[in-house]
Chains A and B, each alone.
Chain A
Amino acid sequence: EPEVTQTPSHQVTQMGQEVILRCVPISNHLYFYWYRQILGQKVEFLVSFYNNEISEKSEIFDDQFSVERPDGSNFTLKIRSTKLEDSAMYFCASSHRQGMATLGNTIYFGEGSWLTVV
């Protein structure tokens, strides 16, 4: 079973510090996503990424956030200056193609990176 892997599984950081969350999507996938879940709240969409650029981002994804695919395998989420309210579980996801019409196309999620800002 293919899987999306994320590192670190848990990170504690001081407010104002930069954090990079890493993801290795499934190897033949072309579409990449970040979602987050604040404790006790819903999983929320942050950003989608295709062909080396952001295809869509939510209002949460402000200037302190950035994503990149530096080496063709990793997909990273950077938070430049963390705030207390950035504490959350961050999920990476990937899919082979966009669109649910193709039977079997599935978005695969990673296990999440738990970020605690103190």
Chain B
Amino acid sequence: AQTVTQSQPEMSVQEAETVTLSCTYDTSENNYYLFWYKQPPSRQMILVIRQEAYKQQNATENRFSVNFQKAAKSFSLKISDSQLGDTAMYFCAFIPSYNFNKFYFGSGTKLNVKP
């Protein structure tokens, strides 16, 4: 069975500072994909970043980067130079390579960026 755990229900960060959101997962699969999705108050789920498990290099998208530790089954999201528009719910998600139909989501971390 696949599970995704986000242990931080809510976090706050000052504008322009850096924040790290934690995610751990459990799977017996070797090939899979990991994602961070953002859900702002407008509610649309927006893909922030993704990581292929077979790649050792951590994914980076502008101010967003991940720390992917495959052995530890850890996939944290670092947001640098936080902006007010980063305020949102962030979901960590997992897809096994044998079944692209089905995301497994974590419970989410609500991030508040304060001015």
Contacts and interface: CB of A to CB of B under 8 A. Distances in A.
Interface string B35-54: 00100001111110010100
B107 A45 contact: no
Contacts of B45: 91, 93, 109-110, 112
A74 to B, nearest CB: 18
A43 interface: yes
B107 to A, nearest CB: 5
**Most chain B beta carbons < 10 A, residue from A3, A89, A100, A108:** A100
A111 interface: yes
A48 B100 CA distance: 10
Interface in B84-103: 91, 93, 95, 97, 99-103
B105 interface: yes
A44 B106 CA distance: 10
A66 interface: no
Nearest to B105: A43
A35 B43 CA distance: 14
Contact of B43 (A56, A98, A100, A111): A111
A93 B102 CA distance: 11
Nearest to B43: A111
